[in-house]
Structure 1
Amino acid sequence: MFTAIKLEDYFEFLSEDDIRLKGHRIGIENVIDYYLEGYTPEEILNELPSLNLEKVYATITYYLHNRSEIDSYLLRLAKNKTEKYQEFLENPSPLVQRLKKKKNSVLR
């Protein structure tokens, strides 16, 4: 008997801003970013060797079927990443502060 697999079965929807490939810590954005840069599925597999070709194709197909939603998802992730980076620059951790002080004292 044939069991149909839905595209969503390949993914874990952990939150609105965290969709990962089942069994991996790899987010769909990692596969999609390579795809949007022009990588072939086989080239993506070379970059993300813990996946298999089926999962790469499933991710690309999911993206193509849900392009506007996934483009919005990618924009939110990029915005969040930029905000976190700016916050890090404005409020470095105590370790980073100590390292900067150490570096500055060595350079003097």
Structure 2
Amino acid sequence: MTDSPTLLEKYIEQRNQGYWIKSSRISLDSVVYAFLNGDSPENIAQNFPLLSLEQVYGAIAFYLANKEQVDVYLKESEVEFEKLQHSLRDKNPLLYQKLKAAQAQKRA
């Protein structure tokens, strides 16, 4: 045996007050929300072609091992996003209406 197997690989790093798939621009949030919506790891890897299946499984394993902490982080992010949404609506109601209309059209 020439090469030893990697016994521990880090898949997640913390940057800019968020969690990211190591050495990528893809947030842990993206993988976790897809996982929570019922997507399989294989489907998530297809939807994020920059990630390997190993990275997707690593991200899911990180989430499951740190579920309470990550869930708090996700909830705080949602609250912050809602604040930004309200701020946009107050500062530029016409743009906000256009964005909401585009979002509704996309869903239809």
**Does the residue aligned with 1:12 lie in a helix, a strand or coil?**
strand
| C-alpha distance in structure 1 between counterparts of 2:38 and 2:55, whole Å | 17
| C-alpha distance in structure 2 between counterparts of 1:45 and 1:2, whole Å | 23
Q: Kindly provide the amino acid, as one letter, of the partner of residue 24 in structure 2.
A: H
Aligned to 1:103: none
**Does the residue aligned with 1:49 lie in a helix, a strand or coil?**
coil
Say which one has the larger Rg.
Answer: 1
CA 1:83–1:55 in structure 2 vs 1: closer, same or farther (change >3 Å)?
Answer: same
Structure 2: unaligned runs, 5 residues or longer: 96-108
Identity of aligned residues (%): 28
Q: Name the TM-score, length of structure 2 as normaliser.
A: 0.76
Q: Name the TM-score, length of structure 1 as normaliser.
A: 0.76
> Is 1:4 the equivalent of 2:11?
no
Structure 1: unaligned runs, 5 residues or longer: 97-108
Task: Write out the 4+ residue segments of structure 1 that deviate beyond 6 Å after TM superposition.
Answer: none
Aligned to 2:24: 24
- Output the aligned Cα RMSD: 2.0
